[in-house]
Chains A and B, each alone.
Chain A
Amino acid sequence: MINKSLKQLGAMLQGKEISSVELTQEFLKRIDRLNPEINAFITLDKDKTLAQAKHADSLLAAGKGTALTGLPIGQKDIFVAKGWRTTCGSKMLETFIGPYDADIIERFDGVGAVNLGKTNMDEFAMGSSNETSYFGKVQNPWDRSRVPGGSSGGSAAAVAARLCAAATGTDTGGSIRQPASLCGLSGLKPTYGLASRFGMIAFASSLDQSGPMAKSCEDMALMMNVLTGFDKRDSTSLNREKEDYTRDLSKPLAGLKVGLPKEYFAEGLGADVAKVVHEAIAEYKKLGAEMVDISLPNTQLSIPVYYVLAPAEASSNLSRFDGVRYGHRAKEYGDLMDMYCKSRAEGFGAEVKRRILIGTYVLSAGYYDAYYLKAQQIRRLIAQDFENAFKQCDIIMGPTAPSTAFKAGEKADDPVAMYLQDIYTIAVNLAGLPGMSIPAGFAPSEDGKRLPVGLQIIGNYFDEARMLNAGHAYQQVTDWHTQMPEGIE
């Protein structure tokens, strides 16, 4: 049962084969058994979770259930949830209890989904390995000595280890897609503005977007139906008509024009990953897709641009964590300045501090034009690259990450190597486009483990339904997405 999709479990709930309480308890038991090692969840609250499950059962009994009613979902600990501890992976918020619900929490609650717990993440979503979490690193279920990716590493590991049927993530530079790739999941970052950022603790406001992490594209479509939609509390939320993301799932792919950016297959891409991605492309050809060679010439600039803009926004977004109103405050301090300095020095980890320093620097008088302004200009060029590309193709495919999951600690002391993990994902955030990663196969590690490889699918603005269609068609003819890691039975 643990390997069933949201769709299948939903049908069982609707058919009264199982209750939400029973299903939830099944996952809670698995969490009790496996989470102490995998560390995918930071906070659990069984009473709250089971109360929600009970409520879902009453909805189902009354015939008021919808697709996700009664299904236990892991919520990334970046989303503020009322009455739940919400840490954002930081010591700064170790004791912070959410006083209100994020939009995404409201939406899942609203359809009777069950909040199974708050999943681990890199501190303030800054990282690509989940190693910057104050609450400890997360194991990759496919090889416990390896990282699950980040920053939504807890959500990825939880779904991969079948500790929940699906989870939410957020993606600022690849934080949904890269862990999905490293853990063998499907993950989707929607078009910027489709999902509300209200209640999602901000990292880089102009890039942050929440999205689903699940086992299949069909499940992601069901989650997209819930988590997207206009929210007047977020000024960047787009007021568009509600879509049904399942509507195109079964469309044939014949004639679909797939762009293959040459920059995504150049130096830096691991040969093992390249092989798997090429096999997936061959599969798409069999499905009737047509391959087109394209170019995204400014790809190499996306990392430097991102590491100016994201830290700039973060340095300002994280100023509110000052120890005055909530969050960590140093026990002993002299004057006000000393309280600020000590509280922030103690409350933030090394990577967060590094980015605050970079961001503060690039916004400083005398440097602003050379860094921030220049980066904004290049950001526009990167968006133009995609605009040109989509004149030649319907969707773009390539690798999600340059490598499979790496060993914990392997890149922890080399920020630039870590930042290169996001070389294929970051441009999508800079352009505000939707991007998705789906399991495309496995590459063997040097010690003989099977490590998942993700295929990235990038769509034009608001083309999520078409992307999900492309992913679903592939998942109808392959079974990569249903395979489970060993040792989690």
Chain B
Amino acid sequence: MEWEVVIGLETHTQLQTKTKIFSGASTAFGSEPNTQACVVSLALPGVLPVLNKEAVKCAIKFGLAVNAEIASRSVFARKNYFYPDLPKGYQISQYELPVVGKGSMTIQVGSGDKAYEKVINITRAHLEEDAGKSVHGAQEGMSGIDLNRAGTPLLEIVTEPDMRSAAEAVAYAKKLHDLVQWIGICDGNMQEGSFRCDVNVSVRPKGSEKLGTRREIKNLNSFKFMQQAIEYETRWQIETLEDGGTIQQATVLFNPDTGETRAMRSKEEANDYRYFPDPDLLPLAISESDISTVKADMPELPEAMKARFEAQYGLAHYDANALTSSRGTADYFVSTVEAGSDAKLAANWVMGSVSAKLNAEDKEISASPISPSALASLIKRIQDGTISNNAAKQVFEAMWAGEGDADSIIESKGLKQVSDSGAIEAIVDEVLAANVAMVEEFKAGKEKAFNALVGQAMKASKGKANPAQVNEILKKKLGA
């Protein structure tokens, strides 16, 4: 039987607000345990939550970015359960009435000829507070609680079960990861837990309309693990069904060491969270004017920018797509062009050498040792014929290594291209005189001999002659 996998994602994005969602405590990561736990974070008796308006702005930004309905009235609810890192014994979340309703995102899956686009529907996104952390092993036989993270604002983004492969799920997650950073609501740091994905996976016979029983893979904090976890889970579910078994709804964890998923204790599923509207908080009202204020503050979104790159700079769809994959890349490209570079050359350099170097050194583009204006000054030297493409690569390497700006490197390495036609003519004459046999071959109709003569002339100039000029002069001399 042929099987189809059905995948939906729930993503917790930590919002980049200075203070927590319901208190004035700082949200900075990595402080000493419990130094950022105020009376509200500690859930002392008598304390009350007060909503941080910045978190609401983040939610509106996201809603606008995915063309979603933004609720004029949404309600905070209490999700009740006991856990040591949940100080109030309930999490303030949104349940029946979330702040962001239905929206959608277009993803690009695969590359080359197999690349395709797909619309992923967003079901909802809601505001909630993060829990603290349990710290095990710091003291013999005891567990510690760190409440620094308790109350950090989260936007939980939920999709419809629209994805049909691990590749689609990862493409969506990456796109979402890019988007939340693009609009500046999340730092996207997966190691620090700022962006965490829960993936719901089920399988069904291809062609069937009915959804299979799903299992939820919790807390995936890398795209690589997500890919592996979904692939393993899919295989496991298909094998289980083919062996005559059934799938039980469950929450599972992915073990990166074994590459396997495993169900957590079943009593986790028996939780009755007893949601009810939080009487400490009024319903969240968002007016049209609140939305327009946020809208005025929104950066140009990737889709719009992509279309603009194609129209304004004549870039290919694929290139425009790649350049708008992250805000950093797009900003870098735009700054390079604004510093005087040709747009197509800039696109090639950014997607080529720059991106290769960044990948090799695992750096963000914001940490590139070559600034957009420095790159532009290099590209300008190609445009004006000062250096050849080959020489430019050498200059780029030197600039990356911090040896100086483009002009001083060209100077010190003597990479300036010879464009003096008199000098080139002299070289060509020498080459023609020294390679009579080749000249004869060319005249006899052997086209290849021409290229060999160009090569000889370039060699004689130590690579500095302008190849176009060499071509032109050779042609003239040979009467071709």
Binding site for B on A (CB under 8 A): 79-80, 86, 88, 93, 96, 99-100, 102, 197-202, 204-206, 232-236, 312-313, 315-316, 318-322, 324-326, 336, 340, 360, 363-365, 368, 372
Taking the complex as formed, is B210 at the interface, i.e. its CB lies under 8 A from any CB of chain A?
Answer: no
In the complex, chain B residues 79-100 whose Cβ is within 8 Å of any chain A Cβ? 80, 82, 84, 87-90
Quote the shortest CB–CB distance from A114 to chain B (angstroms).
21
Q: For B279, what are the chain A residues with a Cβ–Cβ distance below 8 Å?
A: 204-206, 236, 313
A319–B48 touching, CB < 8 Å: no
By beta carbon, the residue of chain B nearest A366 is B272
The distance in angstroms between the C-alpha atoms of A96 and B49, with both chains bound, is: 21
Q: Indicate if B39 sits at the interface (CB-CB under 8 A).
A: yes
Bound-state Cα–Cα, A312 to B276, Å: 9
Quick check: A363 and B43 within 8 Å, CB to CB? no
- B274, A205: Cβ atoms closer than 8 Å: no
Q: How far is the CA of A326 from the CA of B43 in the complex (A)?
A: 10
CB distance from B177 to the nearest CB of A (A): 33
CB of A132, distance to nearest CB on chain B (Å): 17
Q: How far is the CB of A405 from chain B (nearest CB, A)?
A: 30
Contacts of B50 in A (CB 8 A): 232-235
Contact call A80/B89, Cβ cutoff below 8 A: no
Contacting residue for A96 out of B39, B45, B276, B281, CB 8 A: B45
Produce 1/0 per residue, B11-55, CB < 8 A to A. Answer: 000000000000000000000000000010011111111110000
Contacts of A368 in B (CB 8 A): 274, 276
Q: Which A residues lie within 8 Å of B42 (CB)?
A: 325
Contact (Cβ within 8 A) A201 B276? no
Q: Is B282 an interface residue (CB 8 A)?
A: yes
Q: Which residues of A contact B276 (CB under 8 A)?
A: 312, 316, 363, 368, 372
Given A232-B50, A368-B276, residue A86 in contact with residue B78 (CB < 8 A): no
117-175 of chain B: CB within 8 A of chain A: 145
The answer to whether A198 and B48 touch across the interface, beta carbons within 8 angstroms, is yes
Of B42, B47, B274, B275, chain A has the most CB atoms within 10 Å of the CB of: B274
A320 contacts B89, C-beta separation under 8 Å: yes
B243 at the interface (CB under 8 A from A): no
Q: Is the CB of A80 within 8 A of B48?
A: no
Of B51, B279, B280, most A-chain CB atoms within 10 Å: B279
Please report the C-alpha to C-alpha distance between residue A64 and residue B80 in the assembled complex, in whole angstroms.
Answer: 49
Given contacts A93-B45, A201-B45, A235-B49, contact A100 B39 (CB under 8 A): yes
CB contacts (< 8 Å) of A200 on chain B: these are 46
14 example contacts (A-B, Cβ-Cβ < 8 A) are as follows A79-B46, A93-B45, A198-B47, A198-B48, A201-B46, A205-B279, A235-B49, A235-B50, A236-B282, A320-B43, A324-B145, A325-B145, A364-B274, A365-B272
Known contacts A80-B46, A321-B45; 14 additional CB pairs below 8 A are A79-B46, A88-B45, A205-B279, A235-B49, A235-B280, A236-B279, A313-B279, A315-B274, A316-B276, A324-B87, A336-B84, A363-B275, A364-B274, A365-B274
For B145, the chain A residues whose CB sits under 8 A away are 324-325
| Bound CA–CA A100/B80 (angstroms) | 26
CA distance A102 to B44 in the complex (A): 12
Tell me the chain B residues, 47-80 only, with Cβ under 8 Å from chain A.
47-51, 78, 80
Give Cα A318 to B82, complex, Å. Answer: 11
Q: Pick the contact of B80: A197, A232, A235, A363 (CB < 8 A).
A: A363
Query: Which residues of chain B are near A312, meaning CB under 8 Å?
Result: 276
Of chain A, the residue at the smallest CB distance from B43 is: A320
Chain A, interface SS category: loop
Residues of chain B within 8 A (CB-CB) of A197 are: 46, 48
Known contacts A313-B279, A316-B276; is A234 also within 8 Å of B48 by CB?
yes
Closest partner residue, chain B, to A204 (CB atom): B279
Asked whether A363 and B44 contact (CB < 8 A) given A236-B282, A320-B87, the answer is no
CA distance A364 to B274 in the complex (A): 5
B137–chain A nearest beta-carbon distance, Å: 16
Q: What residues of A have a CB within 8 angstroms of the CB of B43 in the complex? A: 320, 325
Q: Nearest 4 A-B pairs (CB), nearest first?
A: A319-B89, A363-B274, A206-B279, A205-B279
Q: Across the interface, do A80 and B82 meet the contact criterion of CB distance under 8 Å?
A: no
Complex Cα–Cα for A200 and B46 (A): 5
B267 → chain A closest CB, angstroms: 10
> Most A CB atoms within 10 A — which of B48, B50, B84?
B48
Residues of A within 8 A of B45 (CB): 80, 86, 88, 93, 96, 201-202, 320-321
Q: How many Å lie between the Cα of A100 and that of B47 in the bound state? A: 10
Cα A316 to Cα B89 with chains together (Å): 7
Give Cα distance in the complex from A96 to B82, angstroms: 21
Asked whether A319 lies within 8 Å of B280 as measured between CB atoms, the reply is no
A312 to B87, CA, bound (A): 19
- Cα A365 to Cα B87 in complex, Å, equals 23
Q: In the assembled complex, how far is the CB of residue B36 from the closest CB belonging to chain A, in whole angstroms?
A: 15
B22 to chain A, nearest CB (A): 9
Chain B 389-445 interface residues, beta-carbon cutoff 8 Å to A: none
Give Cα A172–Cα B316 distance, bound, in whole angstroms: 68
Which of A235, A321, A326 is within 8 Å of B281, CB to CB?
Answer: A235
Q: Which of B39, B46, B51, B276 has the most CB of A within 10 A?
A: B46
Give the CA-CA distance A325 to B44 in the complex, in Å. 9
Q: Restricting to B269-287, which residues have a CB under 8 Å from any CB of A? A: 272, 274-276, 279-282
CB distance from A387 to the nearest CB of B (A): 20
Contact, CB under 8 Å: B46 / A202: yes
Cβ-defined contact, A205 with B280, below 8 A? yes
A234 to B48, CA, bound (A): 6
Report B237 CB to chain A, min CB distance, Å: 27
A319–B51 touching, CB < 8 Å: no
A201: which B residues are within 8 A, CB to CB?
45-46
The answer to whether A325 touches B87, judged by C-beta atoms less than 8 angstroms apart, is yes
Q: Pick the residue among A100, A236, A318, A372 that contacts B44 (CB under 8 A).
A: A100
Residues of chain A contacted by B44 (CB below 8 angstroms): 80, 99-100, 326
Contact B274 A99 (CB under 8 A): no
Let me know if A233 and B48 touch, CB within 8 A: yes
State the CA gap A90–B210 with chains docked (Å): 54
Q: Are A319 and B46 in contact (CB under 8 A)?
A: no
User: Of the candidates A198, A318, A336, which one forms a contact with B46 in the assembled complex, judged by CB atoms under 8 Å apart?
Assistant: A198
- A316 adjacent to B280 (CB under 8 Å): no
- Would you give the shortest CB distance from B91 to chain A, in whole angstroms? 11
A residues less than 8 Å from B275 (CB atoms): 363
Complex alpha-carbon distance, A119 and B209, angstroms: 66
Q: CA separation between A233 and B44, bound complex, in Å?
A: 14
**Min distance, Cβ A370 to any Cβ of chain B, angstroms:** 14
Within 8 Å CB of A199, what residues of B? 46-47
Residue in chain B with minimal CB distance to A96: B45
Which residues of the other chain, B, contact A234 by a CB distance below 8 angstroms? 48, 50
Q: Is the CB of A319 within 8 A of B84?
A: no
Give the Cβ gap from A155 to chain B, nearest Cβ, in Å: 17
Q: Give complex CA distance A198, B282 in Å.
A: 15
**Partner pick for A319 among B39, B49, B88, B272, CB 8 A cutoff:** B88
| Alpha-carbon gap, A88 to B45, bound state (A) | 10
Q: Which residues of B contact A320 (CB under 8 A)?
A: 43, 45, 87-89
A363 to B81, CA, bound (A): 13
Give A340's nearest chain B residue, CB to CB: B82
Of B82, B87, B88, chain A has the most CB atoms within 10 Å of the CB of B82
- Taken together as a complex, chains A and B put the C-alpha atoms of A363 and B276 apart, in Å, by 7
B32 → A minimal CB distance (Å)? 17
